[in-house]
């Protein structure tokens, strides 16, 4: 093989190697650019989400919380002196929450419920409404002596127990009548993650 042929072969091999190296480099560079773009998009998305959360809390924080301030105690109630202290500085609503088992009168169907007992002042901010948008507070008024106490329930509870509005259920030994289906519960987000559907009763029933 002449020197010219050997030089030409070497140039061809060198060219192929150079093209392969460039292709591999471009693929690596493209992956780098894609990762960089993804990182920038993620940072921008987190920032936008944070700003949206702050704006929502600034505009609707009191409604989400159910008031300007919220205090909670475990397994005990506020003393009368503490209630008087708070009442002297603004409107106060007392709420009790607990998990319990609701069941049908025949005992065939049961469901874990997030029970919430509210007073007549609830909610301080926002509206407690039924699924059709009507105000629901009056439905929790005390029932006549001997009659089942009224309760409001989420639709999921009616499905699990296979009951309808107007039917009776039991919460422990307490007889309850489903008076309506909860549509909007103003401070629901502040209650955290629940393990069952909401069942709302009055504090007098509790």
Range with the poorest average pLDDT among 13-17, 121-125, 133-137, 195-199: 13-17
Least confident segment among 17-21, 36-40, 105-109: 17-21
Give the per-residue pLDDT at 108: 92
pLDDT at 204: 87
pLDDT of residue 100: 93
Give the length of the chain.
206
Element at 130 (helix H, strand E):
strand 129-130
- pLDDT (tens digit per residue) in 169-184: 999 899 999 999 999 8
Q: In this model, does residue 13 exceed pLDDT 80?
A: no
| Structure token digits, residue 9 | 């072969």
Alpha helix locations (H) across the chain? 3-65, 80-87, 155-161
CA–CA dist 55, 48 (Å, integer): 10
Return d(Cα 155, Cα 160) in angstroms, integer: 9
121-174 pLDDT per residue, tens? 888 888 888 988 888 888 888 777 778 999 999 999 999 999 999 999 999 899
The pTM assigned to this predicted structure is 0.67
- Report pLDDT digits (tens) over 63-95: 666 777 777 888 888 888 988 888 888 888 888
SS3 139: helix
Residue 70: what pLDDT?
76
Nearest-angstrom CA–CA distance, 46 and 33: 20
What tokens appear for 60 in the block? 């609707």
What pLDDT score was predicted for residue 69?
76
Q: What residues have CB less than 8 Å from 57, skipping those under 6 apart?
A: 64
Query: What per-residue confidence (pLDDT) applies to 46?
Result: 79
Per-residue pLDDT band at 109 (split at 50, 70, 90):
very high
Lowest mean pLDDT among 4-18, 54-68, 138-152: 4-18
Report the pLDDT value the prediction gives residue 163, as an integer from 0 to 100.
95
| Spatial CA neighbour of 180 closest among 199, 196, 193, 159 | 199
Q: Strands 149-153, 174-184: parallel, antiparallel or unpaired by DSSP?
A: parallel
Name the average pLDDT for the chain.
82
């Amino acid at each position: 093989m002449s020197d010219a042929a050997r030089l030409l072969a070497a140039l061809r091999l060198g060219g192929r190697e150079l093209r392969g190296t460039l292709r591999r480099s471009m693929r690596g560079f493209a992956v780098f650019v894609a990762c960089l773009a993804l990182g920038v998009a993620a940072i921008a998305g987190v920032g936008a989400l944070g700003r949206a959360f702050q704006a929502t809390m600034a505009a609707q924080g009191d409604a989400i919380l159910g008031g300007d301030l919220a205090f909670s105690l475990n397994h005990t109630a506020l003393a009368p002196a503490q209630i008087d202290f708070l009442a002297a500085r603004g409107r106060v609503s007392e709420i009790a929450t607990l998990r319990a088992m609701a069941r049908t009168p025949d005992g065939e169907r049961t469901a874990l419920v997030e029970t919430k007992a509210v007073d007549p002042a609830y909610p301080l901010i926002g509206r407690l409404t039924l699924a059709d948008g009507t105000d629901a507070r009056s439905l929790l008024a005390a029932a006549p002596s001997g009659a089942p106490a009224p309760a409001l329930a989420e639709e999921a509870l009616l499905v699990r127990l296979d009951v309808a509005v107007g039917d009776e259920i039991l919460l422990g030994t307490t007889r309850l009548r489903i008076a309506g289906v909860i549509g909007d519960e103003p401070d629901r987000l502040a209650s955290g993650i629940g393990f069952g559907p909401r069942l709302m009763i009055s504090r007098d029933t509790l």
